[in-house]
């Protein structure tokens, strides 16, 4: 039976380190500040924004929650982004995805000051990731997956990692991060996606499988070799009449069967999810530290 990798416990460890760093910054009169911008009233986005705001407050960060109506125009949103770019109390800016359909998300991301782009989606930060430049911001979920593995003493160095999914939010930056040339990475990375042939043959050759495709229970025991490490990024709503909400959350991995074969596995919920928000806080503190370095 696989060892359970507990994302909540590891996230708490991250917060212990962050609290110390935040205290050090406050001694220099800097309170790291995060602005989260929500356009529209999508309930899931609203819940994400709430939990980010709550975590900022728990850590003693300055938190600005901008809730704009769904009717907000592209120009109005760009103006708000410009204001935040110029606000010295704000070190990190995040525009909650997805915005309403009339908003051009790419243009919004490009309008962010890359030094405040704590989501790591700005082309300048993508380039820094490709260039192994540690000053850039790496998207929070990939960063959280790497930290989970490191804190669980799983050796990434030289391992064959198979990433399922090639999105710009998870799969692609994760592959770039884990193939970086440093001791925290150095993996041999294979990325598979919806057009990959012989997918199960490829995943069976992995030391570490990371599933990020958005298909509940897709990764079965047959995809996994005995003793592999399995990280489940997926968060999927599955109908469940027994649940009060009418649904339950499920990962991309068929947990019951895969956990009998893997040597370690993350649960959903309670695996990668808590790490994503911890890394957002970590990126915000990093942005404040880098801004201070520039000012002094
Ligand atoms: P996207 O829909 O943007 O990307 C999904 C990727 O999976 C695509 O590359 C797609 O391939 C690939 N894919 C889809 N179906 C298959 C299949 N049958 N076989 C092989 N590959 C397939 O999703 P995201 O990357 O944004 O998210 C992935 C999952 O992670 C979702 O469940 C999401 O909710 C979750 N998530 C969790 C986070 C967390 O904090 N834990 C944060 C972000 C996301 P192709 O490119 O060919 O279409």
Distance 167 CA to ligand 1 centre (A): 6
Closest by Cα among 42, 40, 108, 104 to 70: 40
Closest by Cα among 23, 21, 26, 52 to 38: 52
User: Whole-angstrom Cα distance, residue 295 to residue 189?
Assistant: 38
Range 209-237 average pLDDT: 98
**What percentage of residues in the chain have a pLDDT greater than 90?**
98
Closest by Cα among 96, 133, 101, 140 to 118: 140
Alpha helices, H only, 35-187: 43-59, 74-86, 105-111, 123-130, 140-151, 171-178
Range 77-102 average pLDDT: 97
- Residue 36, classed as helix, strand or coil, is strand
pLDDT at 67 (0 to 100): 96
In whole angstroms, what separates CA 293 from the centre of its chain?
25
**What percentage of residues in the chain have a pLDDT greater than 70?**
99
For residues 56 and 34, the answer to whether their CB atoms sit within 8 Å is: yes
Give the tens place of pLDDT for each residue, 9-46. Answer: 999 999 999 999 999 999 999 999 999 999 999 998 99
Range 99-126 average pLDDT: 98
- Residue 64, classed as helix, strand or coil, is strand
Distance 212 CA to ligand 1 centre (A): 5
pLDDT at 51 over 90: yes
213 Cβ closer than 6 Å to some ligand 1 atom = yes
Task: Find tokens 């019951």 and name the residue.
Answer: 256
Closest by Cα among 277, 162, 181 to 229: 162
pLDDT at 290 over 80: yes
pLDDT at 94 over 90: yes
pLDDT at 294 over 90: no
267 Cβ closer than 6 Å to some ligand 1 atom = no
pLDDT at 295 over 80: no
Calculate the average pLDDT of the chain: 97
- Residue 43, classed as helix, strand or coil, is helix
Partnered with residue 219 across adjacent β-strands are: 253
pLDDT at 296 (0 to 100): 58
Range 88-105 average pLDDT: 97
Range 228-244 average pLDDT: 96
pLDDT at 176 over 80: yes
Range 85-91 average pLDDT: 98
Is residue 240 part of the annotated active site? The answer reads no
pTM: 0.97
Distance 165 CA to ligand 1 centre (A): 5
Is residue 153 part of the annotated active site? The answer reads no
């Amino acid at each position: 039976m696989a060892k359970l990798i507990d994302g909540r416990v590891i996230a708490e460890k991250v917060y212990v380190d962050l609290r110390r760093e935040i205290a050090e910054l406050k001694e220099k009169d800097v309170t790291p500040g995060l602005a989260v911008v929500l356009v529209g009233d999508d309930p899931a986005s609203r819940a994400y924004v709430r939990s980010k705001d709550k975590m900022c407050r728990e850590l003693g960060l300055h938190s600005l929650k901008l809730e704009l109506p769904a009717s907000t125009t592209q120009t109005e949103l760009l103006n708000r982004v410009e204001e935040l770019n110029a606000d010295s109390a704000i070190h990190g800016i995040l525009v909650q995805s997805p915005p309403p359909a009339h908003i051009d998300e790419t243009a919004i991301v490009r309008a962010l000051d890359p030094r405040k782009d704590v989501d790591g989606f700005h082309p300048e930060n993508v380039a820094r990731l490709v260039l192994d430049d540690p000053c850039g911001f790496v998207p929070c979920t990939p960063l959280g997956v790497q930290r989970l593995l490191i804190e669980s003493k799983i050796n990434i160095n030289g391992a064959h990692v198979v990433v399922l999914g090639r999105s710009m939010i998870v799969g692609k930056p994760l592959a770039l991060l884990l193939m970086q040339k440093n001791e925290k990475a150095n993996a041999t990375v294979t990325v598979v996606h919806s057009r990959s042939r012989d997918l199960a043959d490829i995943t069976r050759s992995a030391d570490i499988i990371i599933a990020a495709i958005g298909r509940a229970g897709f990764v079965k025991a047959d995809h996994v070799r005995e003793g592999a490490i399995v990280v489940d990024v997926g968060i999927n709503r599955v109908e469940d009449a027994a649940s009060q909400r009418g649904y339950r959350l499920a990962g991309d991995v068929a947990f019951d069967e895969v956990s009998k074969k893997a040597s370690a596995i993350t649960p959903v919920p309670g695996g990668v999810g808590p790490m994503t928000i911890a890394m957002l806080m970590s990126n915000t503190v990093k942005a404040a530290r880098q801004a201070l370095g520039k000012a002094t």
